[in-house]
Amino acid sequence: MDWTERIRLTSVRSASAGVLLVLSIALAGGCGTNDSKTALRVEDLDFKLLPGGARFVSGTVHNDGTLPVNAAQVQISLFDDKNRRVDAMHAVIRDVPAGSSVVFREAVQSELAINGARVKSIILID
């Protein structure tokens, strides 16, 4: 390996280390909401098909954090009878006090044959 190849290899390593350092600083700086002050989770998510054909998803949002949540959006994936994701929906949840929970129920608007649902994510709106 001659000196030009060594310089190029060193430059690539230095650039990679710089990118990793910037990425590490950005991640350590609190880019996510993985904070004990705002800890939301969904339990008892249930998909129901009523005899008249109406469909809805219900569940309970728990705020395990230390701050109240004014508004959050629960992103929900919808699945067919072969467990393939075929659609999505969301439910807006308002006013979840710290250490408390709120029950929600949202109608399924999809025209597709839905057989199940799963929480994809929770987004804080406020």
User: Which CATH number does the domain housing residue 82 bear?
Assistant: 2.60.40.3230
Residue 35 has what pLDDT?
Answer: 54
- Domain check: are 104 and 59 in the same one? yes
Cα three-residue angle 115-118-124, rounded to 5 degrees: 140
Average pLDDT over residues 26-47: 67
74 & 104 share domain: yes
Nearest CA to 126 out of 42, 54, 65, 57 is that of 65
Q: Does one domain contain both 26 and 53?
A: no
Q: Are residues 59 and 6 in the same domain?
A: no
Asked if 44 and 84 sit in the same domain, the reply is yes
User: Are residues 110 and 66 both part of a single domain?
Assistant: yes
Does residue 105 register a pLDDT over 80? yes
Residue 110 reports pLDDT greater than 70: yes
Q: What percent of the chain has pLDDT over 70?
A: 71
Closest CA to 91 of 45, 37, 53: 45
Range of the domain at 15: 1-31
Higher local confidence (pLDDT), 34 or 44: 44
In single-letter form, the type of residue at position 1 comes to M
State how many domains the chain has.
2
> Is the pLDDT assigned to residue 7 strictly greater than 60?
no
What's the chain's average pLDDT? 79
Burial class of residue 2 in the structure, from the number of CB atoms within 10 Å of its CB (0-12 exposed, 13-18 middle, 19+ buried):
exposed
Give the pLDDT confidence score for residue 78 in this predicted structure.
96
What pLDDT is attached to residue 38? 74
